[in-house]
Amino acid sequence: MQLEAERGFGDLKGRQERFSGFVARTFTEPLAGITEPQRQGLEDLARALGSYGELSLARRQNLVRQCRERLHQLRQAHQPTIPVGPPRLQVGASSGPGASSGPWDPDTPLSEIKGVGPKTAARLAQLGLFVLRDLVHYYPRDYLDYANLVRISGLEPGRTATIVATVRRSNAFTSPRNPNLSILELHLADITGKIRVSRFFAGKRFASPGWLKGQQAHFPPGATVAVSGLVKETPYGPAFQDPLMEVLDHSHAQVRSESIGRLIPVYGLTEGLGSERLRQALAAVLPEVRRWGDPLPEALRHTENLIPRPQALLQIHQPSNQQELQASRHRLVFDEFLLLQLGLLQRRRQLSQRPAPPLVLAAGRDDLVQRFLELLPFPLTGAQKRVLAEIRVDLARPQPMARLVQGDVGSGKTVVALASLLTAIEAGCQGALMAPTEVLAEQHYRKLAEWLPQLHVTSALLTGSTPAQRRRELLRDLVNGQLQLLVGTHALLEDPVQFDRLGLVVVDEQHRFGVRQRNRLLAKGLQPHLLTMTATPIPRTLALSLHGDLDVSQIDELPPGRQPIQTSLLKGGQRSKAYQLIRDQVAMGQRAYVVLPLVDDSEKLDLRSAIEVHRELEEEVFPDLQVGLLHGKLNSASKQAAIRAFADGLTQVLVSTTVVEVGVDVPEASVMVIEHAERFGLAQLHQLRGRVGRGAAASYCLLINDSNNVQAKQRLEVLVRSGDGFEIAEMDLRLRGPGQVLGTRQSGLPDLALASLTDDGEVLEQARQVAQSITAKDPDLALHQGLAEALADQRRRQLDLASRLN
């Protein structure tokens, strides 16, 4: 029909028939898959074509136009609906690292390596990269995913992608608004759609028409091009701007570019060190990796489905595709966790080789623990019994116990701690109970004072504010063995405190009892058994990384009769609801906490403070009630007075900062109001909430959130939904990352380059199992020389780093 139109509608004569006859015949041939009306339409046209020869020129023109329109409609209706797969692109094998001009030792300074040079080495040093090994382990921060091959219709703005398409049109011009900017614009198409690609050239020299024409000539219409880049959203739909482009000889030709169609590593850079230079430096050192051994035996690698380490190191820098990248990452993450776990297991072995006092009861001895349990107004829960039994087995051994008891807030850890201490005391040793705050130490001491005299056990409290005279007496009794149980803060670890025969140390509410603290205890003579208790249920990945050297017991059951704490979110404007609830509860004989993030207004933030709210509640809101105030700036006597007044019911409302976060146990408290809740971590809020619901009464937690931040609200809703400390801790870890969750004071987080405690939990479990089975069979790693060396190496480098930091 195109031809008929070009020849002036003369009813072209073919070898056997004329145009009109040919078209009429084809229109009446049976066609599969067309509808009856469509067939009818074609037949009508065929009939009209029968008299084509007799029609005027204008009529003929009109009829041909109708035919073309009809065919176009048919084609539209019969678009193939089979999904189109991604385009193919032949990406050559990565040329990879060339031959090394080495051989170089992993400890060779980068400045001595040919292909790096002193200038680049100086820049690399700014990144903390000094020797060859450092650079090899400088992993990409991210990857540009040009291996994501898609059709044009499947392009997503904001993602990197590669397409293979045909040039339809092109245009090269200097921007009418900016004579310094020249633009090459290509219109590309594949079977799924069209896209516009722009290349920008800034500078006068690019504005010459000749030069622009030359650029345009690189991409003639009909040429097949491969394009890799970031897809941008523009007013004309998705587009590529300044992508990588290469004209292919034909659609199956291999790309020559080393970047198009691949995963491109992106590195953290520094002033004066561009990505190109960094890649060059890497290219110079990576060949060396091929000569490195694998610390894991082949058989183990095989069962654990791990690729060889040298291969992983090469591929993490130069992956050909996602699978290669994932396999490499898995192997390297595994190694980081494996070394971490092996290190922890070894430390634990060293500890257990030192003798500890076996706390075995002489036969026929009256059971102190039994009598203690009988004094309690309640029976132990199943979980408490089980954990206590685990502890008592440990205590009877001649190796020092290193055990962590985890149990959600209110699960009753204190009683377990006391029963353990009494076991030690009964065996003729002394015990120490340490708490993180004076408030908590005092509370523990008061609890003990209810029971210990009846059991004829001597005890004392030692904190930073114990008067000197009392302190002297107390230390004397400790050395001569008259004092059996000492309760206190970490001041207990200070030098003048010497025990006669220390058997067990319990550390309450501490996520981590550091190696350094343990060493201080060792310095006090005997190596005592050690029991750490925490209610901050840190997620398992963190627990394994931090406490892999501890045995862990879980009190995974709450005492019976506890009602779940009803948690709700309030806006600042709904504060009066909270006050009404407090009023109602106090009328029923209960008590309430109101917690604020700040002590006073001196800080410049626009937040309600404890002192301000205390005044407001005392004078305006609850003039008829007694309102107490507790915060960290009070001296220790005032703090204790405030807690005691609240515990004894002299005050019914306690306004406090997070001093009450851990441990405080007032069973009559049934309301917890937390102001500016969005400023606290989830785990911390869960701890605060745990201050209520400790008795049998229904309890309430009201989170007041004044921010309009959507994320803050989502975060807080986790608490409304869940009462499970472990679930909350997992969410906290995901939302805030491990550093935040543990707080800045909590050092000792492992140094992981690639592994993530948030995302690699499964690999951590895998590595832990392998570490355990290796240690069980080969405790000295004599048969795993590679691992022993890697471990020694890591330790040496940590020391190195520490001395450099110092």
Minimum gap (Å) between residue 377 Cβ and ligand ADP: 8
Is there binding between residue 381 and ligand ADP (CB under 6 A)? yes
Do 128 and 805 meet the contact criterion of CB atoms below 8 Å apart?
Answer: no
Q: How far apart are CA 95 and CA 707, in angstroms?
A: 54
Cβ distance to Mg ion smaller for residue 133 or 511: 511
- Name the residue nearer to ligand ADP (CB basis): 391 or 535: 535
- The CA distance from 423 to 501, in Å, is 14
Partner in contact with 378, chosen from Mg ion, ligand ADP, none, beta carbon below 5 to 8 Å by kind: ligand ADP
* Cα distance between residue 436 and residue 111, in whole Å: 49
Residues 45-104 contacting ligand ADP, CB under 6 A: none
Contacts 24+ apart (CB under 8 A), 205-214: 206/182, 207/174, 207/179, 207/180, 207/182, 212/172, 212/173, 212/174, 212/182, 212/184, 213/172
Neighbouring CB atoms inside 10 A of 514's CB total 12
Between residue 675 and residue 704, which ones bind ligand ADP under the rule CB under 6 A?
694
Cβ proximity to ligand ADP, 547 vs 694, nearer residue? 694
Among 123, 262, 413, 591, binds ligand ADP (CB under 6 A): 413
Strand partners, 18: 13
C-alpha distances in Å from residue 125, one per residue of 90, 129, 246, 342, 719: 38, 5, 36, 30, 46
- Identify the H or E element spanning 193: strand 193-202
Q: What are phi and psi of 353, to 5 degrees?
A: -80, -10
The interface region with ligand ADP, picked from 50-58, 177-185, 378-386, 709-717 by CB under 6 A, is 378-386
Minimum CB–partner distance for residue 118 and Mg ion (Å) = 59
Please provide the DSSP assignment of 583-630 as one string: HHHHHTT-EEEEE-SBSSTTSSS---BHHHHHHHIIIII-TTS-EEEE
The token pair at 66 is 């109708």
Please give the residues from 498 up to 557 whose contact with ligand ADP meets the rule CB under 6 A: 535
Cis peptide before 750 (omega within 30 of 0): no
Q: Is 378 in the site for ligand ADP (CB under 6 A)?
A: yes
Please return the burial class of 550, using the count of CB atoms within 10 Å of its CB with bins 0-12, 13-18 and 19+.
buried
Beta-carbon contacts of residue 61 (< 8 Å; ≥ 6 apart): 5, 9
Task: Give the residue with the Cβ less far from ligand ADP, 412 or 750.
Answer: 412
Q: Which of 224, 328, 414, 656 touches ligand ADP by CB under 6 A? A: 414
200 interface partner picked from ligand ADP, Mg ion, none, CB below 5 to 8 A per type? none
Sole window of 14-22, 145-153, 343-351, 405-413 interacting with ligand ADP (rule: CB under 6 A): 405-413
Q: C-beta of 413: minimal distance to Mg ion in Å?
A: 5
Strand extents, DSSP E, 243-340: 244-248, 254-255, 263-266
667 makes contact, choosing from ligand ADP, Mg ion, none, with CB < 5 to 8 Å by partner type, with ligand ADP
Nearest distance, CB of residue 634 and ligand ADP, angstroms: 23
| Nearer residue to ligand ADP within complex by CB, 134 or 665 | 665
Number of residues that bind ligand ADP (CB under 6 A): 17
C-alpha 549/C-alpha 112 separation (Å) is 41
Which DSSP letter does residue 490 get? G
Sign of the C-alpha dihedral computed for residues 765, 769, 774 and 779 taken in this order:
positive
- Which among Mg ion, ligand ADP, none contacts residue 410 (Cβ within 5 to 8 A by kind)? ligand ADP
| Residue of 412, 539, 548, 725 interacting with ligand ADP (CB under 6 A) | 412
Nearest residue to 97 (alpha-carbon basis) of 228, 247, 261, 292: 292
Tell me the closest approach of the beta carbon of residue 664 to ligand ADP, in angstroms.
9
- The answer to whether 346 contacts ligand ADP (rule: CB under 6 A) is no
Q: What is the contact surface with Mg ion in residues (CB under 5 A)? A: 413, 663
384 near ligand ADP, rule: CB under 6 A = yes
Window 559 to 618, contacts with ligand ADP (CB under 6 A): 559
Residue 585 contact partner, candidates ligand ADP, Mg ion, none, CB within 5 to 8 A by sort of partner: none
**Nearer Cβ to Mg ion (261/663):** 663
- For the bound state, the minimum distance from the C-beta of residue 690 to ligand ADP, rounded and expressed in Å, comes to 6
Which residues 656-675 are close enough to bind ligand ADP by CB under 6 A? 665, 667
Q: What is the closest distance, in whole angstroms, from the C-beta atom of residue 413 to ligand ADP in the complex?
A: 4
Q: Which residues pair with 405 in a beta bridge?
A: 533, 553
**Which residue in the shown chain puts its C-beta closest to Mg ion?**
663
In the complex, least distance from residue 491 CB atom to ligand ADP, rounded to whole angstroms = 21
Nearer to ligand ADP, 409 or 506 (CB): 409
Q: Which does 537 bind (CB under 5 to 8 A by kind): ligand ADP, Mg ion, none?
A: none
Q: What is the closest distance, in whole angstroms, from the C-beta atom of residue 687 to Mg ion in the complex?
A: 10
The alpha carbon dihedral of 294, 296, 297, 299 has a sign of: negative
The Cα–Cα gap between 449 and 43 comes to: 106
**Span from 52-60, 121-129, 402-410, 483-491 in contact with ligand ADP (CB under 6 A):** 402-410
DSSP letters spanning 105-163: -TT-BGGGSTTTHHHHHHHHHHTT--BHHHHHT---SEEEETT-B--GGG--TTSEEEE
- Between residues 343 and 663, which has the closer beta carbon with respect to Mg ion? 663
- The span from the CA of 434 to the CA of 506, in Å, is 6
Tokens representing residue 13 in the block: 């004569």
Q: What does 409 bind: Mg ion, ligand ADP, none (CB cut-off 5 to 8 Å by kind)?
A: ligand ADP
Interface with ligand ADP by CB under 6 A: which range of 333-341, 407-415, 650-658, 783-791? 407-415
* CB-nearer residue toward ligand ADP: 135 or 440: 440
Q: Is 380 in the site for ligand ADP (CB under 6 A)?
A: yes
Q: For the CB of residue 532, give the shortest distance to Mg ion in the complex, in Å.
A: 12
Q: Which of residues 693-752 bind ligand ADP (CB under 6 A)?
A: 694
* 411 binding ligand ADP? (CB under 6 A): yes
| Residue 734 backbone dihedrals phi, psi, to 5 degrees | -65, -40
* Residue number with CB closer to ligand ADP (699 or 766): 699
If the CB atoms of residues 503 and 693 are measured against ligand ADP, the closer one turns out to be: 693
Q: Nearest-5° angle of CA 510, CA 748, CA 384? A: 30
Residues 266-295 that bind ligand ADP (CB under 6 A): none
First to last CA, the chain: 86
Chain residue whose CB lies nearest ligand ADP: 412
Footprint of ligand ADP (CB under 6 A)? 378, 380-381, 384, 407, 409-415, 535, 559, 665, 667, 694
